[in-house]
């Protein structure tokens, strides 16, 4: 088997800019990676410890209470009805699933997977690991007459914060059904809508009562500050979930039992979710105003944890300009060729660091 040729890890290219930003007298404000900085709620930490004495192997499918909690949270928070607990499968964070999903579904050479034109880099990596071909397209007409094996959606988008409306989502689902194409929706930022309310591909208004060939990927990293726990799940078409479960049993892809208990605590705790949303709302308002007041335009960014910003110049010129002010951001080209004049600016910094960035932009 030939070695898979993967792209360089994008964030390695930021090392020089990070060094410049760290040299700032006030210290670095790192807005390059969406890493949570706020405390994990006490209820989640207590739940993690509560089952630490259990010595046996956890189940790949997750305990029934976890699957039930996921179904209840999706209905309560996002209006998703009609899912069965067996159609929920916990994953070791969402990135793991994104990276391996095309291969877990049996795709390989000769298959094409569609990803957004501007996309989380792991979508492309997952296709390459499977040996399949990547097609970047945001419209169905751009796909042309070919029939891809799988199509990724991401709403709210990383990096742009764009939200796909119900009509757009319905059109994609109908198009895919006509061609027997699997549609996978990355919904890790679904709970973080600001100017627009994101809608799941599993919402009845989108799928019309049928979940066949539809999967939705969810994460607790952003909404519950559980990035270090590696806690996510996939749900949707029961048949596809059963296929993934069968493969993952053989491969040992199992979420640790204490993490499963912590996930249950996070999925029932709407109060902590709302408190975290309020933190991000405040940071977003401060940073957005500072950017717009000082020469930046903000595109999309109506949801999610990022501002998709531009000064109408090459992305690395902007990255360098901000690094000289002690602010580290991600260049738009990390996410696709069309990101050449934008930067992605994360909201995941403390209030103090966000305020520091705003002050430096004003200077």
CATH class, 10-39+271-362 region: alpha beta
The arithmetic mean of pLDDT across residues 200-218, rounded, is 96
The answer to whether domain 42-269 has CATH 3.40.640.10 is yes
Residues of the chain with CATH 3.40.640.10: 42-269
Please give the share of the chain, as a percent, with pLDDT higher than 90: 95
**pTM here?**
0.94
Residues of the chain with CATH 3.90.1150.10: 10-39+271-362
Give the model confidence (pLDDT) of 99-132 as tens digits: 999 999 999 999 999 999 999 999 999 999 999 9
pLDDT at position 4 is: 75
Vertex 250, ends 244 and 254: CA angle to 5°? 70
| Greater pLDDT, 184 or 363 | 184
Q: How far apart are CA 21 and CA 10, in angstroms?
A: 18
Q: Are strands 297-299 and 306-310 parallel, antiparallel or unpaired?
A: antiparallel
Give the model confidence (pLDDT) of 217-270 as tens digits: 999 999 999 999 999 999 999 999 999 999 999 999 999 999 999 999 999 999
Give the model confidence (pLDDT) of 39-91 as tens digits: 999 999 999 999 999 999 999 999 999 999 999 999 999 999 999 999 999 99
Q: Which of 314, 59, 357, 77 is nearest to 197 (CA)?
A: 77
Does the structure show a pLDDT above 50 at 303? yes
Does the structure show a pLDDT above 70 at 2? no
Distances (CA, A) of 309 to 30, 101, 288: 16, 31, 9
Please give the share of the chain, as a percent, with pLDDT higher than 70: 99
Q: How far apart are CA 331 and CA 340, in angstroms?
A: 8
Q: What is the mean pLDDT of the chain?
A: 95
Q: How far apart are CA 325 and CA 319, in angstroms?
A: 10
Q: How far apart are CA 324 and CA 304, in angstroms?
A: 26
pLDDT at position 13 is: 86
Q: How far apart are CA 82 and CA 202, in angstroms?
A: 9
| Greater pLDDT, 144 or 353 | 353
**C-beta atoms surrounding 277 within 10 Å:** 15
**C-beta atoms surrounding 155 within 10 Å:** 26
The arithmetic mean of pLDDT across residues 122-143, rounded, is 95
pLDDT at position 1 is: 41
Q: How far apart are CA 60 and CA 111, in angstroms?
A: 28
Name the least confident of 6-20, 49-63, 300-314, 329-343.
6-20
């Amino acid at each position: 088997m030939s070695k898979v040729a993967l792209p360089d890890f994008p964030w390695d290219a930021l090392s020089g800019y990070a060094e410049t930003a760290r040299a700032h007298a006030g210290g670095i404000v790192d807005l390059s990676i969406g890493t949570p900085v706020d405390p994990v709620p006490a209820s989640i930490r207590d739940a993690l410890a509560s089952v630490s004495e259990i010595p046996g192997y956890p189940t790949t499918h997750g305990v029934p209470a976890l699957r039930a909690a996921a179904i209840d949270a999706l209905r309560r928070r996002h209006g998703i009805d009609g899912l069965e607990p067996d159609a929920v499968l916990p994953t070791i964070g969402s990135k793991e699933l994104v990276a391996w999903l095309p291969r877990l579904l049996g795709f390989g050479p000769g298959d094409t997977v569609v990803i957004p034109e501007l996309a989380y880099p792991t979508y492309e990596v997952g296709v390459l690991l499977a040996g399949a071909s990547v097609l970047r397209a945001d419209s169905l007409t751009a796909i042309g007459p070919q029939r891809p094996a799988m199509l990724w959606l991401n709403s709210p988008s990383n990096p742009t914060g764009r939200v796909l409306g119900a009509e757009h989502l319905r059109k994609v689902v109908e198009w895919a059904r006509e061609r027997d194409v699997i549609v996978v929706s990355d919904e890790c930022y679904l709970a973080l809508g600001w100017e627009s309310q994101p809608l799941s591909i599993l919402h009845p208004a989108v799928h019309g009562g049928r979940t066949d060939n539809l999967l939705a990927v969810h994460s607790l990293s952003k909404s519950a500050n559980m990035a270090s726990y590696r806690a996510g799940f996939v749900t949707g078409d029961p048949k596809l979930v059963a296929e993934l479960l069968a493969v993952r049993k053989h491969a040992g892809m199992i979420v640790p039992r204490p993490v499963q208990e912590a996930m249950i605590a996070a999925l029932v705790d709407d109060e902590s979710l709302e408190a975290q949303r309020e933190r991000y709302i405040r940071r977003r308002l401060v940073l957005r105003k500072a950017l717009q007041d000082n020469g930046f335009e903000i595109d999309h960014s109506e949801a999610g944890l990022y501002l998709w910003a531009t000064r109408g110049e090459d992305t690395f010129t902007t990255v360098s300009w901000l690094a000289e002010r002690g602010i580290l951001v991600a260049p738009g080209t990390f996410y696709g060729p069309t990101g050449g004049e934008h930067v992605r600016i994360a909201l995941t910094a403390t209030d103090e660091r966000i305020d520091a960035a705003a002050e430096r932009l004003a200077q």
